[in-house]
Amino acid sequence: MTIANTLFRPDLLARYHANGPRYTSYPTALQFRDDFDPADYLRAAADPGAASTDLSLYFHIPFCDTVCFYCGCNRIATKNRSHARPYLDQLKREMALQAAHFDTRRPVSQLHLGGGTPTFLSHDELTELMAAAREHFSLLPDALSEYSIEVDPREASPETVAHLRSLGFNRLSLGVQDFDPVVQRAINRVQPFEMTASVMQAARATGFHSIGVDLIYGLPHQTVESFSRTLDTMIELAPDRLSVFAYAHMPQLFKMQRQMDPAALPTPPMRLAILQRVIERLTGAGYVYIGMDHFALPTDELARAQASRTLHRNFQGYSTRAECDLIGLGVSSIGKVGDVYAQNAKDLPVYSAAMKAGKLAITRGVRLSVDDRLRRDIITQLMCNLEVRFDEFEAAYGIRFADVFEPELERLASFEQDGLISISERQLDVLTAGRMLVRNIAMVFDRYLGQQTLERFSRTV
């Protein structure tokens, strides 16, 4: 039996069909409070006990030249590039404000530009942004850092890629979604194959350490045959990492999704058939199934981190830098510092007003309780390393795992009977058949799910 046959069990996927969190944080953003006191964030930032951990910087660039109909990100569609200038000035101001609260001798081992479309900024503006980051924080040399940027191949020339490499970026993330022109027109993202191939070739020529590509299944007009062609083309291009997301159709939350014909969306059985083909093609081509939507070549740092139990998860997804404090910069950005999550204003005018007033733009967040931290660590171990070693949590938290989590272990009995997990006296292991349902397994340890609407989350598969 192949790994694909063991991973993809349609009977179990149907039985455990549910909506649930992606656990880029625990508690999830739905638990962030509007009455959050930013003083909690500043206290965590100043904690001398954190001096031994690295920093991670995330910059949110909200602007896009055009809007993709499927998108649920915080973005502003505009063709007016002059919007970048004032926003860049605000980011520089925020960097100075944030740096004042941290020991900036702490090295920045991870940095990420997301959006929106970060390359909405011009070459000179990107140069200015990275110069400011180096002015306020201690950026590391290339061999010791993971500095990544999301790139839209429709507006990134080989010259752009070379410029990004010269600025210190060594990981590239490309949005593709689907190569089929019918699908591309339906989602308002026309992106010929040559554009994507050109960017990937330039990234390899200029020495990027890793190239990641995003695909989406469940979009209008997709079929098993059409998506198989996309997968075959992508396998030929051989990115180091692939994220194959399930499209979440939530037009009640994301108005632009109403531009797509719901009748053209694949049926639930078709979605499952496409997912099965994804598993077959990618594992057959030698990609390691990391978990959820992610695949990586065995040589990629992501696969190596999982093998060594150092894989982590943050607001950008899977990460190889586990112990960083994350500073979120820009509109809607979320930071994680110590036992605190803090989110900036989601609206650009509110964020801009805070920068003009010379104060942080934090508008909501949460300070974690001891129980939150315990459950966050359990969920992280499940999502990233596919196991929970009870003795590690007993030593760290002074508990007896079986006593504290007796109700959760009882609820997991059905998962074990179905061959998704294995539970011994000392350990919980996610088996191969359970890896695609790891969100469902993690949800058992989430004490907030009964207090919130699951419809706000995407489907677990």
**Regarding beta strands 210-217 and 171-177, do their DSSP bridges make them parallel or antiparallel, or are they unpaired?**
parallel
Q: Is the pTM of this model over 0.85?
A: yes
Per-residue model confidence as pLDDT tens digits over 188-211 = 999 999 999 999 999 999 999 999
Average pLDDT, integer, range 362-391? 96
The answer to whether residue 350 scores a pLDDT higher than 80 is: yes
pLDDT of res. 10:
80
pLDDT of res. 296:
96
What backbone phi and psi angles, to 5 degrees, belong to 373? -65, -40
Asked whether the beta carbons of 53 and 325 are under 8 A apart, the reply is: yes
pLDDT band at 253 (very low <50, low <70, confident <90, very high): confident
Average pLDDT, integer, range 250-262? 89
Structure tokens at 68: 């993709």
pLDDT band at 2 (very low <50, low <70, confident <90, very high): low
Closest CA to 146 of 170, 173, 119, 174: 170
pLDDT of res. 49:
77
The answer to whether residue 43 scores a pLDDT higher than 70 is: yes
Structure tokens at 138: 């201690």
AA letter at 31:
Q
Average model confidence (pLDDT) for the chain?
A: 92
Q: Which residues contact 48 (CB under 8 A, 6 or more apart)?
A: 103
All domains in the chain, ordered by first residue? 1-27+368-453 (1.10.10.920), 31-327 (3.80.30.20)
Q: Which residues contact 23 (CB under 8 A, 6 or more apart)?
A: 313, 379, 380, 383, 439, 442
Round to whole Å and give the CA distance between 456 and 250: 9
pLDDT of res. 456:
66
pLDDT band at 118 (very low <50, low <70, confident <90, very high): very high
The answer to whether residue 109 scores a pLDDT higher than 90 is: yes
pLDDT band at 8 (very low <50, low <70, confident <90, very high): confident
Round to whole Å and give the CA distance between 75 and 77: 6
Structure tokens at 219: 């979009």
For helices 348-356 and 84-99, the axis angle rounded to 10 degrees is 60
Average pLDDT, integer, range 59-70? 92
The answer to whether residue 239 scores a pLDDT higher than 60 is: yes
Round to whole Å and give the CA distance between 139 and 111: 9
Per-residue model confidence as pLDDT tens digits over 438-460 = 999 999 999 998 755 666 676 76
Average pLDDT, integer, range 281-286? 95
Per-residue model confidence as pLDDT tens digits over 122-181 = 999 999 999 999 999 999 999 999 999 999 999 899 999 999 999 999 999 999 999 999
pLDDT of res. 55:
96
Closest CA to 50 of 383, 329, 335: 335
For helices 193-205 and 224-237, the axis angle rounded to 10 degrees is 20
Q: Which residues contact 395 (CB under 8 A, 6 or more apart)?
A: none
Round to whole Å and give the CA distance between 135 and 83: 24
The answer to whether residue 13 scores a pLDDT higher than 90 is: no
